[in-house]
Structure 1
């Protein structure tokens, strides 16, 4: 017998559907910020992306779950989204790599989902009003008391503004990435890599680590609160600032560490949350967007190249255009709304990109930024070596 579900929004909007995934013993209430994602593929990568912590994800593509789940495509070891909202869950999943169904995966991870709702109507609401607080409520029988409680829980949710979620999803201890890259038939041993990169884990995706490996880097991943001194003690050629969830302004510990690293002129590359933290470390400001950018079809213009690239996006905050210090040069802009998509320091080896050059899922138009990071480390290493020879 199907278990019923209901999505309640803070504005009182209600969407009735069928529950899937984790059903609990009687009633389940899952609360978070409701956003919509326009990607047509990659539902597994999306729900396991730590950047979605604290959010209920609406997927606008109607058929979700048709290729099942396999462990190789997870971007982290757990589902970080609070819940999943879809139009239709196919009865059968078919793919030669499938290890389990989406429904079974969500049951295993104790994540609730709702299907059989009008996601087009919901997306229009979010597109008009912006991201809203919401609650998925499941029970064998939906009651008026339950509906009232779901609306109250949605309205009581704090929202993501001012919330530090990076500290909740980060690794507990440093580790060296050993799983190789995306394309290598034989994974390269870390000691064979050309450059050593220390990656701050604010909610890092596995595809990012694979892209850095493919670019010729040995990667040491460190927790979000690692002080700059400990990073420098690892003697990296460069520092990577990862993606992640929540409000960048709440990560004051990270901003302080990045400022210390900037003083050392070590090459720095940040994406998504890491891009925003780099901007804050350079005295810029960030603000919450109305509904953010979530999907795999976002056009971005590289200003210096006069080139348009289709990008994968997932962020609800952006660098403020009206408070940029002189040291920051804007390198990329969104062609949807003109918001800042890329920055670089005018005199230091540091740059950031708002979208996801690693994709996972999405297009690979911007993956060349990893090679740009390697070039920056090569140039910096050459300068440091030359200076050392002059002092001998």
Structure 2
């Protein structure tokens, strides 16, 4: 039996009633949906979901529990040091869990992190609404009513980026990682390729550091709010420093190059998004989590689209004619999802040699 009744209220007035299985508190944010079947520990700790109420479309969630809370780069189960979503929405929560590495239930984890969650609602109907009308603001109401909150009207990268410079790994090449809300799996894949990772806060003046290549990470919110990272990308490109962007990093590099970005109707969030490399027939299945995209029509001379989404035809990456500056909208590190695209890390590291 649910402890408390809960409501999910959308900005268009639609109301879903269910039960609370997370923290007994209300929360507001942008309501988005993810179509993945598994990977909820990774998704919930992905900083790109900051400020959002995450709807998981798979009907039963929580059956394999939560592993030990090791939030370091040495663990493969979490993408940051805490739950990043503002709230969670599911059709049915599993009352029991079973996995040899599980130490607690999803419900207990959410409660300890003070993140509200609602179950027992028709997520199929909810997803259809978001698909037809687009992502919209919403609020989970449990203890009291609150105002709607739009995370896209402010710079929320500063809320998920580290505040100190750190270095990890050893290698002859150094990658400066401009952390705009970086998933830990990006760092893990860099370290496995034997490079030194210089992890920098989002607003760092990168001209003060020496490095062989720049990687601009994923992160939450509107890319046009990221003024300092855009300047950092311009600096790297103008100084012929190999530069690679992932997700938000793709949008930042595009803006630095002179292209424009726009908000998608309901975004791409899932683990089965097909993309094709332009100029070839190479197709890969990718993990994605973004609500903004690059406008192909605004890509300047010297740059070209690199990948394209095969579901809706939107841009999934850009590359410079020199081959030294490139970015992808999807997540080559996966986590969760297929690893078809991790060769892109090798391509980037290869530019440093």
| Structure 2 length-normalised TM | 0.95
What is aligned with 1:98? 102
What is aligned with 1:49? 46
> Post-superposition shift, 1:201?
0.5
> Is the 1:228–1:258 Cα contact (8 Å) retained in structure 2?
no
> Is the 1:161–1:288 Cα contact (8 Å) retained in structure 2?
no
Matched, 1:257 2:235: no
> Post-superposition shift, 1:348?
5.8
Matched, 1:224 2:202: yes
What is aligned with 2:72? none
Q: Distance in 2 between matches of 1:226 and 1:338?
A: 34
What is aligned with 1:328? 303
Residues 94-123 of structure 1 deviation map (CA, whole Å, 9 limit, x = unaligned): 101112111111111100000011100100
Q: Distance in 1 between matches of 2:136 and 2:41?
A: 23
What is aligned with 1:180? none
Q: Find the partner of 1:80 among 80, 84, 96.
A: 84
Matched, 1:115 2:112: no
> Post-superposition shift, 1:366?
0.6
| Count of matched residue pairs | 345
> Is the 2:296–2:305 Cα contact (8 Å) retained in structure 1?
no
> Is the 1:303–1:332 Cα contact (8 Å) retained in structure 2?
yes
What is aligned with 1:135? 139
> Post-superposition shift, 1:80?
0.9
Residues 297-356 of structure 1 deviation map (CA, whole Å, 9 limit, x = unaligned): 101001233111110000000001221111211110001111110111113611000000
* Runs of 5+ consecutive residues of structure 1 not aligned to the other structure: 140-145, 178-189, 379-392
The structure with the largest alpha-carbon Rg is: 1
> Post-superposition shift, 1:84?
0.3
What is aligned with 1:315? 290
What is aligned with 2:182? 204
| Structure 1 length-normalised TM | 0.86
Matched, 1:300 2:263: no
Q: Distance in 1 between matches of 2:124 and 2:287?
A: 21
What is aligned with 1:38? 35
**Could you say what secondary structure the match of 1:256 adopts?**
helix
* RMSD of aligned residue pairs (Cα, Å): 1.2
Q: Which moved more, 1:46-55 or 1:258-267?
A: 258-267
Q: Distance in 2 between matches of 1:115 and 1:270?
A: 36
Residues 20-59 of structure 1 deviation map (CA, whole Å, 9 limit, x = unaligned): 1111xxxx22000000000111001001000000100000
Q: Find the partner of 2:164 among 161, 173, 183.
A: 173
**Could you say what secondary structure the match of 1:126 adopts?**
helix
Residues 169-206 of structure 1 deviation map (CA, whole Å, 9 limit, x = unaligned): 000101123xxxxxxxxxxxx23x24211101000011
* Runs of 5+ consecutive residues of structure 2 not aligned to the other structure: 70-74
> Post-superposition shift, 1:228?
2.3
What is aligned with 1:126? 130
